């Protein structure tokens, strides 16, 4: 039996730990978001107050495609850019998107706003981008009002003074929320700007927090260098990889696919407000707006004087420190990761040689450490997940986030720490503390090596673990009797760990509590692993039960406090999702909502258990919807006018006009009993196929002209065309009384009917 006999008494260890944790705390507190500047700020600077004046106008009402608010916003934006003296045009076209979760194609008539300030001696073009459409019923003060405000105020500041060297374009895209349609239209028909283009795209997945440049096009070395000169810039290569796991996307994807250079910058705090009627100007953080604007203006200023043809081909890894951006070439990340692996291997050899641990024990401890890290991630996920299961109204409708996430975040961190401590104390005797400390570091090193194929994944692990491992190696070189100096060496090695890991735990929650908690749990596990050499003497050699019990109590307490701070009535109104569908053929109607009812109010409307309702909501054929009978509203169904119907080899060419007598901007059509060989809507081709269907949004009041080339092998009467039109005002339903303490997210009023052409 190996014996681990710490020769040092515990006080220096406790002091070392305290210093490390204080450094970590400082790393979280030091980054101070900028104070928003007023309307009297110097004209060469970005002023959140001036930017907010634009947001107040455009976010006065929702701006979904083809709505009055959408038109009003476009007119205001065009007028504002005209007043700046920029050459402003509206790029019109049709865009289509085929979602992966439904065979229904989604299309729209689009109007991008493109304004140009020609450069004095251009080498290329700098594009300031945001989208001006919103989802249904959301004023979109943050999504993407913060982008609109940032772009307009930056454009104003750039117009002030000397003409910039490069062209500058303001691009306010349309139809982003329908599948990045406007961005594709822009890149497909890019106006003739010679030379390279660099796009600064601005987004929001919440209404607060620090703007993070979470994606940069590749190769990125010059772009990273330019961004790092902007005060307050935050960027992270790791998030670029992590973002791909989230069910979100932005216009940046289309710009990147088209080969443009660019940055994608977004805020993600306050995500419970995202895509809801509560995304209002008064709730948008001015400090977030100021910081996004400061970075946009500084970056754009540099880019307007840079030779854009000379952007180099290097690839850098970038991460954020309390002092700004840290970036280095990709090979440095590889070298540092290999150095970590070597340092951990050296440590293992030393332990075995000194008979502190055997190879078998180190390997066994590594296995347990990996299990503990996974368990910590899972335990971090549970408090909020269980809370949402128990009380569905706690989470926002679009992405299931709480208004006040603080206690749920704390519960996640405490749960992870409790699991790690419990497992460690439970197995410590079996493996010995030295073996476990090396085994845990080994897991970090192996995960970093495994992450090497993905840019930036190894970096946070290496920045945390490499100095820590070196600190232990230095401590090992110091004689046992100088135990205080050994602790100083270990604590010094842990300072970078604290600077990176503690902010990383917090930053993980930028992905929301649902996705962020397991990631935060994983970072807690890494921090726990590197702290072990320092904390081992502070932890008991056996008796894990008290840690499990106290940890469980603390997690339950935090979770209950989360429930209390988010109790009904204590926060912004709770959210509901409610659709209404009238079947004009049968003369009956239903209420429906995805998932279970979220309150007593919706439970009264949604009396039937969830099931797909493909006839009522043809564009969501697979979505399970709780539903219930609804009053029949007197709504005229969509009109189908047959224009022509001619036989063509083995099928029929049908031409029809689909319109909405009730003025619905969104029209839908689905074909049953025939395969569609080709189709157009207002002359724009749509992907054909079996189970053909589309929804299309247009401001045109005459409806749309649809041409279908049908492959009809069965009898003609088997061919059925289902049509629908969609609005969003639920108060057209008799007796609908929206409760005052609820908001309805993404309301839809659908009228369906079938025709046999
Ligand atoms: Zn957006």
**What pairs with residue 646 in β-bridges?**
653
Task: For residue 115, report the distance from its CA to the centre of ligand 1, in Å.
Answer: 20
Task: For residue 573, report the distance from its CA to the centre of ligand 1, in Å.
Answer: 22
In this structure, is residue 348 part of a structural domain?
yes
| Whole-angstrom distance, CA of residue 237 vs CA of residue 112 | 30
Pairing of the two strands 261-267 and 212-216: antiparallel
| Whole-angstrom distance, CA of residue 673 vs CA of residue 487 | 77
In this structure, is residue 671 part of a structural domain?
yes
Q: How many residues does the chain have?
A: 757
Residue 689 is predicted with a pLDDT of 80
Residue 321 is predicted with a pLDDT of 87
Last residue in a domain, options 565, 586, 608? 565
Residue 466 is predicted with a pLDDT of 97
32 burial class (0-12, 13-18, 19+ CB within 10 angstroms)? exposed
Residue 269 is predicted with a pLDDT of 95
| Whole-angstrom distance, CA of residue 632 vs CA of residue 665 | 21
Residue 192 is predicted with a pLDDT of 64
Neighbours of ion ligand 1 (CB under 5 A): 143-144
Contact of 402 with 408, CB cutoff 8 Å: yes
In this structure, is residue 318 part of a structural domain?
no
Task: For residue 135, report the distance from its CA to the centre of ligand 1, in Å.
Answer: 9
Residue 3 is predicted with a pLDDT of 39
**What pairs with residue 626 in β-bridges?**
593
In this structure, is residue 3 part of a structural domain?
no
- Number of alpha helices (DSSP H) and beta strands (DSSP E) in the chain: 18, 22
Task: For residue 740, report the distance from its CA to the centre of ligand 1, in Å.
Answer: 27
Closest CA to 79 of 172, 180, 188, 4: 172
Task: For residue 76, report the distance from its CA to the centre of ligand 1, in Å.
Answer: 19
Last residue in a domain, options 520, 536, 565? 565
| Whole-angstrom distance, CA of residue 305 vs CA of residue 606 | 59
Contact of 686 with 724, CB cutoff 8 Å: no
Q: Same domain, yes or no, for 455 and 475?
A: yes
Closest CA to 745 of 728, 727, 725: 728
3-state DSSP call for residue 721?
Answer: strand
**Residue indicated by tokens 């596990």:** 525
Q: Same domain, yes or no, for 554 and 583?
A: no
Number of domains into which the chain is organized: 3
Task: For residue 279, report the distance from its CA to the centre of ligand 1, in Å.
Answer: 12
**What does the H/E/C string look like for 619-679?**
CCCCCEEEEEEECCCCCCCCEEEEEEEEEECCEEEEEEEEECCCCCCEEEEEEECCEEEEE
Pairing of the two strands 125-131 and 87-97: unpaired
Q: Same domain, yes or no, for 459 and 607?
A: no
User: Using one digit for the tens of pLDDT, what is the confidence trace for 101-110?
Assistant: 788 999 999 9
| Whole-angstrom distance, CA of residue 723 vs CA of residue 677 | 19
Q: Same domain, yes or no, for 594 and 561?
A: no
User: Using one digit for the tens of pLDDT, what is the confidence trace for 354-365?
Assistant: 998 999 999 999
Q: Same domain, yes or no, for 188 and 254?
A: yes
Task: For residue 130, report the distance from its CA to the centre of ligand 1, in Å.
Answer: 8
Residue 483 is predicted with a pLDDT of 87
Residue 30 is predicted with a pLDDT of 78
Q: Same domain, yes or no, for 167 and 228?
A: yes
Closest CA to 555 of 376, 406, 408, 405: 408
| Residue range of the domain that includes 445 | 329-565
Task: For residue 133, report the distance from its CA to the centre of ligand 1, in Å.
Answer: 8
The H or E element that residue 5 is part of is none
Q: What angle do CA 414, 417, 422 make, to 5 degrees?
A: 120
Task: For residue 144, report the distance from its CA to the centre of ligand 1, in Å.
Answer: 5
Closest CA to 627 of 678, 668, 665, 583: 583
Contact of 257 with 199, CB cutoff 8 Å: no
In this structure, is residue 314 part of a structural domain?
no
Task: For residue 177, report the distance from its CA to the centre of ligand 1, in Å.
Answer: 7
Pairing of the two strands 324-329 and 316-321: antiparallel
Residue 10 is predicted with a pLDDT of 84
Residue 714 is predicted with a pLDDT of 64
Task: For residue 339, report the distance from its CA to the centre of ligand 1, in Å.
Answer: 41
Closest CA to 535 of 481, 494, 502: 494
Residue 161 is predicted with a pLDDT of 83
Q: Same domain, yes or no, for 501 and 631?
A: no
Give DSSP secondary structure letters for 129-196.
EEE----TT---TTTTHHHHHHHHHHHHHHHSSSPPSSEEEEEEES-GGGTSHHHHHHHHT-----S-
Task: For residue 431, report the distance from its CA to the centre of ligand 1, in Å.
Answer: 51
Task: For residue 577, report the distance from its CA to the centre of ligand 1, in Å.
Answer: 20
Q: Same domain, yes or no, for 612 and 503?
A: no
Last residue in a domain, options 542, 565, 588? 565
Task: For residue 446, report the distance from its CA to the centre of ligand 1, in Å.
Answer: 37
Q: Same domain, yes or no, for 290 and 198?
A: yes
3-state DSSP call for residue 2?
Answer: coil
| Whole-angstrom distance, CA of residue 232 vs CA of residue 299 | 11
Looking at residue 143, which CATH number applies to its domain? 3.40.630.10
Task: For residue 365, report the distance from its CA to the centre of ligand 1, in Å.
Answer: 46
Task: For residue 527, report the distance from its CA to the centre of ligand 1, in Å.
Answer: 34
Task: For residue 754, report the distance from its CA to the centre of ligand 1, in Å.
Answer: 35
The model carries a pTM of: 0.94
In this structure, is residue 22 part of a structural domain?
no
Q: What is the DSSP letter of 691?
A: T
Task: For residue 486, report the distance from its CA to the centre of ligand 1, in Å.
Answer: 52
Task: For residue 462, report the distance from its CA to the centre of ligand 1, in Å.
Answer: 33
Task: For residue 735, report the distance from its CA to the centre of ligand 1, in Å.
Answer: 34
Task: For residue 579, report the distance from its CA to the centre of ligand 1, in Å.
Answer: 23
Task: For residue 146, report the distance from its CA to the centre of ligand 1, in Å.
Answer: 10
Q: Same domain, yes or no, for 253 and 394?
A: no
Q: Same domain, yes or no, for 181 and 280?
A: yes
Task: For residue 250, report the distance from its CA to the centre of ligand 1, in Å.
Answer: 7
Closest CA to 748 of 622, 574, 592: 592
CA distances from 668 to 108, 639, 658, 665 (A): 11, 11, 9, 10
Residue 649 is predicted with a pLDDT of 77
Ranges of the chain with pLDDT below 50: 1-8
Task: For residue 143, report the distance from its CA to the centre of ligand 1, in Å.
Answer: 5
**What pairs with residue 115 in β-bridges?**
88, 170
| Whole-angstrom distance, CA of residue 75 vs CA of residue 73 | 5
646 burial class (0-12, 13-18, 19+ CB within 10 angstroms)? exposed
User: Using one digit for the tens of pLDDT, what is the confidence trace for 589-621?
Assistant: 999 999 889 999 999 999 999 999 999 999 998
Q: Where are the alpha helices (DSSP H) in 454-567?
A: 458-477, 483-508, 512-535, 545-565
In this structure, is residue 80 part of a structural domain?
no
Task: For residue 576, report the distance from its CA to the centre of ligand 1, in Å.
Answer: 21
Q: Same domain, yes or no, for 386 and 522?
A: yes
3-state DSSP call for residue 328?
Answer: strand
In this structure, is residue 166 part of a structural domain?
yes
| Whole-angstrom distance, CA of residue 397 vs CA of residue 745 | 7
Task: For residue 246, report the distance from its CA to the centre of ligand 1, in Å.
Answer: 14
């Amino acid at each position: 039996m190996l014996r681990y006999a710490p020769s040092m008494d515990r006080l220096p260890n406790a002091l070392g730990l305290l210093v490390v944790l204080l450094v970590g705390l400082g790393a979280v507190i030091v980054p101070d978001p900028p104070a928003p500047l007023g309307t009297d700020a110097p004209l060469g600077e970005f002023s959140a107050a001036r930017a907010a004046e634009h947001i107040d106008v455009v976010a006065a009402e929702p701006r979904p495609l083809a709505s009055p608010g959408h038109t009003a916003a476009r007119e205001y934006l065009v007028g504002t850019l005209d007043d700046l003296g920029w050459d402003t045009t509206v790029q019109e076209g049709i865009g289509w998107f085929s979602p992966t979760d439904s065979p229904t194609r989604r299309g729209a008539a689009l109007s991008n706003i493109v304004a140009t300030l020609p450069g004095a001696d251009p080498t290329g073009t700098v594009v300031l981008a945001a989208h001006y459409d919103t989802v249904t019923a959301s004023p979109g003060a943050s999504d993407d009002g913060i982008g609109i405000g940032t772009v307009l105020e930056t454009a104003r500041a750039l117009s002030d003074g000397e003409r910039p060297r490069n062209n500058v374009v303001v691009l306010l895209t349309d139809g982003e929320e329908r599948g990045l349609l406007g961005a594709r239209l822009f890149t497909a028909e890019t106006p003739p700007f010679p030379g390279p283009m660099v796009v600064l795209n601005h987004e929001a997945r919440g209404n607060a927090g620090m703007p993070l440049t979470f994606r940069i096009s590749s190769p990125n070395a010059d772009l990273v260098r330019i961004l790092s000169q902007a005060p307050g810039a935050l960027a992270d290569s790791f998030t670029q990889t992590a973002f791909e796991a989230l069910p979100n996307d932005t216009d940046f994807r289309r710009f990147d696919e088209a080969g443009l250079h660019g940055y994608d910058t977004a805020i993600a705090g306050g995500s419970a407000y995202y895509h809801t009627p509560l995304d209002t100007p008064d709730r948008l953080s001015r400090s977030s707006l100021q910081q996004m604007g400061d970075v946009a203006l500084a970056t754009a200023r540099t880019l307007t004087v840079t030779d854009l043809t000379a952007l180099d081909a290097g690839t850098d890894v970038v991460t954020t420190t309390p002092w700004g951006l840290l970036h280095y070439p990709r090979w440095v990340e590889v070298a540092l990761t290999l150095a970590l692996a070597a340092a951990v291997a050296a440590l293992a050899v030393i332990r075995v040689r000194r008979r502190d641990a055997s190879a078998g024990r180190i390997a066994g401890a590594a296995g347990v450490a990996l299990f503990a890290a996974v368990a910590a991630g899972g335990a971090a996920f549970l408090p909020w997940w269980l809370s949402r299961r128990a009380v569905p109204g706690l989470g926002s409708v679009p992405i299931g986030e709480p208004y006040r996430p603080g206690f749920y975040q704390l519960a996640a961190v405490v749960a992870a720490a409790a699991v790690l401590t419990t497992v460690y104390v439970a197995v410590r005797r079996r493996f010995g503390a030295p073996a476990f400390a090396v085994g845990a570091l080994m897991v970090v090193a192996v995960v970093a090596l495994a992450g090497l194929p993905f840019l930036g994944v190894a970096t946070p692990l290496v920045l945390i673990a490499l100095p820590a491992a070196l600190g232990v190696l230095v401590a090992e070189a110091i004689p046992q009797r100088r135990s205080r100096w050994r602790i100083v060496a270990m604590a010094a090695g842990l300072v970078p760990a604290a600077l990176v890991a503690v902010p990383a735990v917090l930053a993980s929650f930028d992905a929301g509590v649902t996705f962020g908690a397991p990631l935060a749990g994983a970072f807690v596990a890494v921090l726990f692993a590197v702290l072990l050499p320092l904390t081992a003497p502070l932890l008991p050699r056996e008796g894990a039960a008290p840690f499990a019990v106290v940890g469980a109590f603390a997690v339950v307490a935090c979770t209950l406090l989360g429930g209390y701070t988010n109790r009904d009535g204590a926060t912004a109104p709770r959210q509901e999702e409610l659709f209404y569908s009238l079947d004009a053929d049968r003369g009956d109607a239903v209420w429906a909502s995805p998932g279970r009812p979220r309150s007593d109010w919706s439970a009264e409307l949604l009396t039937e258990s969830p099931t797909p309702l493909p006839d009522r909501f043809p564009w969501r054929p697979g979505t399970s919807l709780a539903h219930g009978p609804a009053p029949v509203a007197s709504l005229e169904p969509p009109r189908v006018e047959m224009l022509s119907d001619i036989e063509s080899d083995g099928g029929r060419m049908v031409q029809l006009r689909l319109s909405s007598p009730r003025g619905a901007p969104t029209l839908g059509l689905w074909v049953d009993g025939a395969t569609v060989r080709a189709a157009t809507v207002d002359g724009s081709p749509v992907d054909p196929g079996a189970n053909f269907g589309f929804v299309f949004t247009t401001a045109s009041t005459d409806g749309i002209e649809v041409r279908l080339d049908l492959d009809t092998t069965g009898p003609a009467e088997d061919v059925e065309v289902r049509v629908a039109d969609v609005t969003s005002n639920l108060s057209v339903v008799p007796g609908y009384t929206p409760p005052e303490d609820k908001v309805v997210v993404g309301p839809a009023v659908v009228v369906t009917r079938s025709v046999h052409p």
